[in-house]
Amino acid sequence: MTHKMNNTMSEATLGGQFTFPGTPLTVQRIGYGAMQLAGPGVFGPPKDPDAAVAVLREAVAAGVNHIDTADFYGPHVTNQIIRQALHPYPKELVIVTKLGARRPSDGSWQSAISPQDLTAAVHDNLRNLGLDALDIVNYRAMGAIHGPAEGSIAGEVTVLADLRRKGLIRHIGVSNVTAAQVAEAQVITDIVCVQNNYNLAHRDDDAMIEDLARQGIAYVPFFPLGGFTPLQSSTLSAVADRLGATPMQVALAWLLHRSPNILLIPGTSSVAHLRENLAAGQMSLSPQSLAELDGIAGT
């Protein structure tokens, strides 16, 4: 895919700013998801560690101040690369991590949600990122194969709230969760963000996004670029061609238009793709384009 938009970035173009509710943490709405920096299958080191470092430095140089990660990416590898590339961190950088999984030596994804697991994971993140406290930690529920599954997350969120009282975590979010689970977590502690699977084609969370927007809570879609059927992709490509942009840029710009509480964390291991993704913040979509894009979910 070619990069069709101007590469010149400034902070003003990264989708504008968002402040996590009840926090001093303000970020540009276009951030960066670090999952792609580990090796294949999010396991082991990347083929080209220097390239991974370059992507992170380029992102921060372009004004990105919100990086999403997890110590179970690699495991440990992604956080170690972030530290190598960016430590000591710029004071405006917000690193958001997540807990709830571990990666045995076979590369599988196992849940790790006992109080001991969650506490150990906080310390893994602190050590590998080189921090004394974590800005925002998401409790990532394992859910079902294709998404969240109902069931209490009160025990796990309570552990995070205790770690927050101890000063190891500053703010708490939840991930891969249902609306009922968000509400349950909010009874236990302040929730500043929700990270779920959402994009142009996968819109199960439309109502949740509106509800969180009313409360000023960030909604951070994962897989912002993924899972389009050929028909959906062809509609997206047609709109993108008309706008002189790439389909990925249009998918990201649509998310920015969708709701002001949506923060983007597109993942890439490529500087060229990073630049392309950041340039999505400069796009404006007409009502006609938005209507066509809104139709994609129904196809």
Ligand X SMILES: NC(=O)c1ccc[n+]([C@@H]2O[C@H](COP(=O)([O-])OP(=O)(O)OC[C@H]3O[C@@H](n4cnc5c(N)ncnc54)[C@H](OP(=O)(O)O)[C@@H]3O)[C@@H](O)[C@H]2O)c1
Site for ligand X contains 226 (CB under 6 A): yes
CA distance 103 to 44: 10
- Paired tokens of 39: 């090796």
User: What is the smallest separation between the CB atom of 98 and ligand X, expressed in angstroms?
Assistant: 6
Cβ–Cβ < 8 Å for 10, 244: no
Which 3 state secondary structure label does DSSP give 91? coil
Site for ligand X contains 224 (CB under 6 A): yes
User: What is the smallest separation between the CB atom of 269 and ligand X, expressed in angstroms?
Assistant: 4
Candidates 57-65, 110-118, 179-187, 223-231 — which segment interacts with ligand X by CB under 6 A? 223-231
Only one residue has tokens 């792609």, namely 36
Q: What is the DSSP string of 190-239?
A: -EEEEEEE-BTTB-TTHHHHHHHHHHT-EEEEESTT----HHHHHHHHHH
Find the binder of ligand X among 36, 97, 235, 261 (CB under 6 A).
36
Find the binder of ligand X among 65, 97, 128, 175 (CB under 6 A).
175
Cβ–Cβ < 8 Å for 204, 185: no
Per-residue binding letters, 99-138, with ligand X (x by CB under 6 A) = ----------------------------------------
Candidates 46-54, 218-226, 232-240, 283-291 — which segment interacts with ligand X by CB under 6 A? 218-226
Q: What is the DSSP letter of 74?
A: B
Q: Where are the alpha helices (DSSP H) in the chain?
A: 49-61, 77-86, 115-129, 154-165, 179-188, 206-215, 230-243, 247-258, 271-279, 287-294
Find the binder of ligand X among 33, 74, 148, 281 (CB under 6 A).
33
Going by C-alpha positions, the residue among 108, 18, 28, 96 that lies closest to residue 64 is 28
Q: Which residues contact 180 (CB under 8 A, 6 or more apart)?
A: 150
Identify which of residues 89 and 228 has a Cβ nearer to ligand X in the complex. 228
Site for ligand X contains 207 (CB under 6 A): no
Handedness of CA 211, 213, 216, 219 (dihedral sign): positive
Site for ligand X contains 185 (CB under 6 A): no
Site for ligand X contains 66 (CB under 6 A): no
Site for ligand X contains 277 (CB under 6 A): yes
Footprint on residues 143-162 left by ligand X (CB under 6 A):
none
Site for ligand X contains 225 (CB under 6 A): yes
Q: Is 198 a catalytic residue?
A: no
Number of amino acids touching ligand X (CB under 6 A): 26
Identify which of residues 65 and 195 has a Cβ nearer to ligand X in the complex. 195
Only one residue has tokens 């004004």, namely 63
User: What is the smallest separation between the CB atom of 287 and ligand X, expressed in angstroms?
Assistant: 25
Site for ligand X contains 195 (CB under 6 A): yes
Chain residues binding ligand X by CB under 6 A are 1, 33-36, 68, 98, 140, 175-176, 195, 222-226, 248, 265-270, 273, 276-277
Could you list the active site residues? 73
